[in-house]
């Protein structure tokens, strides 16, 4: 608005100045013009009137009427110009007229006696000066003035009035000397007038066709014994339209300037808006998880740091919940990743709704979530919320119209009791969560010192495992597998033991999963294969030997080559080897698993599926796997006496396996009754403490 006012104000002021300058110029020009016209008129009149002086001179020279008046007058008319006729009026009576033609009526007229004209004549006599009569309309037409010069001739008693020398001058002739005609054509108006000395009336005796405007310029014309006035104006006022255009342009310029200023001022505003928007987007991207819209791990760490800092000052207790969905992998495998994503989104919404607005709900990655509970006063508060979270998550989630049930394992750390930096708090919560998982999932665990000890032990074990292979700390025990029909040993299963330098003999349950997690299981596994082959070679035994393969090792791309080279260097028969794989090895990518199994079979190695019944293998998958033996997990045989269900399952599995032309091994036979049972259900092989415990080869 200001810019508009300033610019249009400046424009208007300029226009005003220009207008004033223009008007001043116009005025100056007009006054010059009027003056020049008036002086042209005056010059012409005085020239024409000079004819009376020449006539008077002639009378003076001849002391009376001029002989050959006509010739004399003719020569005067030619030299002076603009005069219509010349007259001599001795004693006031018009006696000579040149040219006479058309003026005959005037002859003999006594100007001193004529009422209408005597006034100027008498004045001339009285003042001895030229007087001007008129203008008046002539009988013969036209407007004219008459100049009368009184003539005095010398006599003894002084000068004696002789009469008048007169010139009749048409006003038209006088006007011709000016440019008024052509000026009229250019848009100027004029009038020539006088104020009658007696009546005070204004006599206009010449004027333009168009009337004068209000803005007129006047100049007086000096004529003998009278005062005439020439008044002029410019008929068309250019100035106004110019000024209007000027003002309009000012407004337009003002408007544009205001618009440009507005536009320029608007730019930083727009830019600020864009920057603000972009910053928000970037912040969102930096702090949030794309899939669920929850906060991400980075944001959680930041908030944890803030909470810890505030805690040292204000003692606001808080809690961190580290959550993992149980069995999420199964949803992904069975329903596809799209459904998996949908599940995560729905769970995210439920978690968010279950806690307070101020609590920070985050997705830590995969199927892991974290919630930072602010102002969680006590352990019982946290417990209550953990129970609520488990409850909301357990409600079935509908994916493609089908209900799915998932559960939560939660690890909880209290802040600041369970750690004073965010790394420790996250790590401890993670540890508690793993512990909840280990104790059967669908569970929550608070972090405590025991967990910490366990974790440290795990870490130490991990480190010890790295040196164990090099330092030859492992040994293999062998457990016989019997043919149930003959009662004879058919094969041996190789079971790993670790002769730990400080802890003594450790069993696989204590270190296999650590080795799995750290990856050292692969090297350990190759050591076992080598060791078993050495044993076969050394003992020259004809028994089959089963070797357990961890899922990680089963996926190792070097596996086939390693087997081949070990078999070659040990120089044994590959058909004496069997590998035991678990369902988890084949469930993820069954096509790749089948390829690998076929390669093993091609080497001559037979294959057993271990711990059958604890995983999720469907019969359709089982049908496709190129396996030779199925090992039914010991859990089925353990409660065989009490649970008739287990009996039925074992029977069912055996008949099914037989249909698929697979041999069955039942593990974990600990009692006579169990042995009796497996024999009854026509199981092929048996393994267990009752038949033979694992022992070093030379003690078998």
Report the interface residues with ligand C2E, using CB under 6 A.
479, 494-496, 507-509, 512, 525, 528, 548-550, 580, 610-611, 634, 667-670, 687-689, 694
What is the distance between the alpha carbons of residues 95 and 59, in angstroms, rounded to a whole number? 13
Rounded CA-CA distance 293/295 in Å is 7
Please report the sign of the dihedral spanned by the C-alpha atoms of residue 514, residue 330, residue 296, residue 359.
Answer: negative
Contact 121, 92 (CB under 8 A): yes
Binding-residue pattern over the window 563 to 592 for Ca ion, x denoting contact by CB under 5 A: -----------------x------------
Residue with Cβ nearer ligand C2E (258 or 494): 494
Partner interacting with residue 292 (select from Ca ion, ligand C2E, none; CB below 5-8 Å by kind): none
Q: Kindly tell me which of 276 and 507 has the beta carbon lying closer to ligand C2E.
A: 507
- Least distance to ligand C2E, CB of residue 435, Å: 21
For ligand C2E, the closer of residues 328 and 478 by Cβ is 478
**Smallest distance, ligand C2E to C-beta of residue 453, A:** 23
3-state secondary structure of 106: helix
Cβ-in-10-Å burial (0-12, 13-18, 19+) of 468 comes to buried
When the beta carbons of 581 and 681 are compared against ligand C2E, the nearer one is 581
670 binding partner (options ligand C2E, Ca ion, none; Cβ < 5 to 8 Å by kind): ligand C2E
Which tokens sit at 612?
Answer: 């059958």
What is the spatial distance between Cα 7 and Cα 12, in angstroms, rounded to a whole number?
Answer: 8
Closest contact distance (angstroms) between CB of 413 and ligand C2E is 32
CB of 529 to ligand C2E, least distance (A): 9
Cβ nearer to ligand C2E, comparing 92 with 480? 480
Q: Are 155 and 181 in contact (CB under 8 A)?
A: no
Binding residue count for Ca ion, defined by CB under 5 A: 5
Whole-number Cα distances in Å, 47 to 31, 80, 205, 236, 349: 24, 7, 20, 34, 116
CB-nearer residue toward ligand C2E: 49 or 675: 675
Alpha carbon 503 to chain centroid, angstroms? 66
Shortest gap between Cβ of 481 and ligand C2E (angstroms)? 10
Q: Among Ca ion, ligand C2E, none, what does residue 512 contact (CB within 5–8 Å per kind)?
A: ligand C2E
Task: Kindly state the smallest distance separating residue 382's Cβ from ligand C2E, in Å.
Answer: 36
* Residue 622: how many other CB atoms lie within 10 Å: 18
> Toward Ca ion, which CB reaches closer, 289 or 611?
611
Minimal distance, residue 387 CB to ligand C2E, in Å: 34
Q: Which is nearer to ligand C2E, 150 or 668 (CB)?
A: 668
Nearest to 679 by CA among 700, 645, 650: 650
CB 369 within 8 A of CB 348: yes
Out of 42, 583, 610, 646, the residue judged to bind Ca ion by CB under 5 A: 610
Q: Are 246 and 10 in contact (CB under 8 A)?
A: no
> For Ca ion, what does the binding mask look like between residues 631 and 670, x meaning CB under 5 A?
------------------------------------x---
Strand order in the sheet with 85-90: 96-98, 85-90, 158-170, 143-155, 131-137
Taking the complex as a whole, the smallest distance from the CB of residue 685 to ligand C2E amounts, in Å, to 13
Q: Which two tokens stand for residue 177?
A: 């000397």
Binds 361, which of Ca ion, ligand C2E, none (CB < 5 to 8 A, cut-off by type)? none
Secondary structure of residue 610 in the 3-state scheme? strand
Do 340 and 325 touch, CB atoms closer than 8 A? no
**CA 420 to chain CA mean position, Å:** 42
Question: How many CA atoms lie within 13 Å of 125's alpha carbon, on the beta-carbon side?
Answer: 16
CB closer to ligand C2E, 44 vs 477: 477
Q: Which is nearer to ligand C2E, 18 or 613 (CB)?
A: 613
Total Cβ atoms within 10 A of residue 136: 15
Q: Shortest distance, CB of residue 583 to ligand C2E, whole angstroms?
A: 12
In this structure, the number of other CB atoms found within 10 A of the CB of residue 28 comes to: 10
The binding track of 667-696 with respect to Ca ion, each residue x by CB under 5 A or -, is x-----------------------------
Shortest gap between Cβ of 610 and ligand C2E (angstroms)?
5
183 vs 675 by CB, closer to ligand C2E: 675
550 binds, among ligand C2E, Ca ion, none (CB under 5 to 8 A by kind): ligand C2E
Q: How many residues does the chain have?
A: 700
Q: 452 near 431, Cβ under 8 Å?
A: yes
Distance CA 127, CA 403 (A): 139
Q: Which CB sits closer to ligand C2E, 346 or 582? A: 582
Contact with Ca ion (CB under 5 A): which of 120, 611, 646, 684? 611
Q: How far apart are CA 348 and CA 368, in angstroms?
A: 10
Q: Supply the minimum distance, in Å, between the C-beta of residue 485 and ligand C2E.
A: 20
Closer to Ca ion by CB, 123 or 513: give it.
513
> Closest separation between CB of residue 496 and ligand C2E, Å?
4
Task: For residue 643, count other CB atoms closer than 10 A to its CB.
Answer: 12
489 binds, among ligand C2E, Ca ion, none (CB under 5 to 8 A by kind): none
* Least Å from the CB of residue 349 to Ca ion: 41
In the chain the first and final C-alpha atoms are separated, in Å, by 105
Reduced to 3 DSSP states, what percent helix, strand and coil does the chain have, rounded to the nearest 5?
50, 25, 25
Q: Which of 428, 491, 548, 606 binds Ca ion (CB under 5 A)?
A: 548
The site partner of 8 among Ca ion, ligand C2E, none (C-beta below 5 to 8 Å per kind) is none
Is 606 among the residues that bind Ca ion (CB under 5 A)?
no
- Distance between CA 347 and CA 390 in Å, rounded? 11
Q: Looking at beta carbons only, is 413 or 553 nearer to ligand C2E? A: 553
- CB of 84 closer than 8 Å to CB of 53: no
Minimum CB separation from ligand C2E for residue 480, in Å? 10
> Of Ca ion, ligand C2E, none, which one does residue 689 interact with (CB within 5 to 8 Å by kind)?
ligand C2E
Q: Which does 256 bind (CB under 5 to 8 A by kind): ligand C2E, Ca ion, none?
A: none
Which residues here bind Ca ion, judged by CB under 5 A?
548, 580, 610-611, 667
């Amino acid at each position: 608005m200001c810019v508009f006012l300033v610019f249009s104000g400046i424009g208007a002021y300029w226009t005003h100045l220009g207008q004033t300058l223009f008007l001043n110029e116009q005025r100056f020009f007009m006054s010059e013009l009027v003056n020049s016209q008036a002086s042209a008129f005056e010059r012409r009149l005085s020239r024409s009137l000079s004819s009376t002086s020449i006539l008077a001179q002639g009378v003076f020279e001849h002391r009376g009427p001029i002989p050959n008046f006509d010739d004399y007058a003719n020569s005067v008319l030619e030299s002076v110009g603009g005069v219509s006729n010349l007259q001599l009026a001795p004693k006031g009576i018009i006696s000579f007229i040149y040219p006479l033609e058309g003026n005959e009526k005037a002859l003999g007229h006594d100007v001193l006696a004529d009422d209408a004209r005597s006034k100027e004549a008498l004045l001339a006599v009285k003042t001895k000066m030229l007087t001007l009569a008129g203008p008046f309309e002539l009988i013969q037409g036209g407007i004219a003035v008459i100049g009368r010069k009184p003539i005095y001739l010398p006599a003894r008693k002084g000068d004696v009035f002789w009469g008048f020398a007169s010139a009749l001058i048409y006003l038209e002739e006088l006007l011709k000397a000016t440019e008024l005609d052509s000026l009229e054509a250019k848009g100027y108006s004029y009038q020539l007038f006088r104020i009658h000395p007696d009546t005070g009336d204004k006599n206009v005796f010449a004027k333009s066709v168009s009337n004068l405007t209000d803005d007129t310029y006047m100049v007086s014309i000096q004529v003998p014994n009278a005062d005439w006035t020439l008044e002029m104006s410019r008929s068309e006022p250019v100035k106004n339209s110019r000024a209007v255009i000027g003002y309009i342009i000012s407004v337009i310029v003002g408007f544009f300037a205001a618009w440009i200023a507005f536009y320029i001022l608007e730019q930083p505003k727009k830019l600020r808006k864009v920057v603000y928007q972009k910053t928000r987007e970037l912040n969102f991207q930096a702090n949030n998880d794309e899939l669920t819209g929850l906060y991400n791990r980075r944001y959680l760490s930041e908030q944890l740091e803030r909470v810890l800092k505030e805690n040292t000052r204000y003692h606001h207790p808080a809690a961190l919940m580290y959550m993992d969905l149980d069995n999420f992998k199964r949803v992904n495998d069975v329903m596809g990743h799209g459904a998996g994503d949908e599940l995560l989104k729905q769970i995210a919404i439920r978690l968010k709704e279950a806690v307070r607005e101020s609590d920070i709900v985050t997705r830590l990655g995969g199927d892991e979530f974290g919630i930072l509970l602010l102002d969680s006063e006590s352990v019982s508060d946290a417990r209550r919320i953990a129970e609520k979270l488990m409850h909301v998550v357990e409600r079935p989630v509908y994916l493609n119209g089908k209900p799915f049930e998932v559960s939560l394992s939660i690890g909880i750390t209290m802040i600041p009791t369970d750690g004073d930096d965010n790394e420790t708090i996250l790590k401890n919560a993670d540890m508690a969560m793993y512990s909840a998982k280990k104790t059967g999932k669908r569970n929550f665990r608070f972090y405590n010192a025991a967990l910490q000890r366990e974790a440290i032990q795990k870490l130490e074990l991990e480190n010890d495992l790295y040196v164990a292979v090099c330092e030859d700390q492992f040994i293999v025990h062998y457990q016989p597998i019997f043919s149930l029909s003959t009662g004879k040993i058919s094969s041996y299963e190789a079971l790993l033991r670790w002769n730990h330098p400080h802890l003594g003999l450790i069993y696989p349950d204590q270190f296999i999963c650590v080795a799995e997690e750290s990856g050292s299981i692969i090297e350990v596994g190759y050591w076992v294969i080598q060791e078993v082959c050495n044993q076969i070679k050394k003992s020259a035994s004809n028994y089959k030997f089963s070797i357990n393969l961890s899922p990680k090792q089963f996926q190792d791309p070097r596996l086939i080559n390693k087997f081949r080279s070990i078999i070659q260097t040990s120089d044994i028969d590959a058909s004496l080897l069997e590998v035991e794989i678990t369902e988890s090895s084949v469930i993820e990518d069954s096509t790749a698993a089948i390829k690998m199994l076929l390669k093993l079979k091609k080497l001559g190695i037979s294959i057993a599926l271990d711990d059958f019944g604890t995983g999720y293998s469907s019969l359709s998958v089982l049908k496709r796997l190129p396996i030779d033996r199925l090992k039914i997990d010991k859990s089925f045989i353990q409660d065989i006496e009490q649970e008739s269900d287990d009996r039925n399952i074992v029977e069912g599995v055996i008949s099914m396996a037989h249909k698929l032309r697979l041999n069955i091994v039942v593990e974990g036979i600990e009692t006579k009754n169990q042995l009796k049972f497996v024999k009854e259900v026509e199981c092929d092989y048996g393994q267990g403490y009752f038949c033979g415990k694992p022992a070093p080869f030379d003690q078998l």
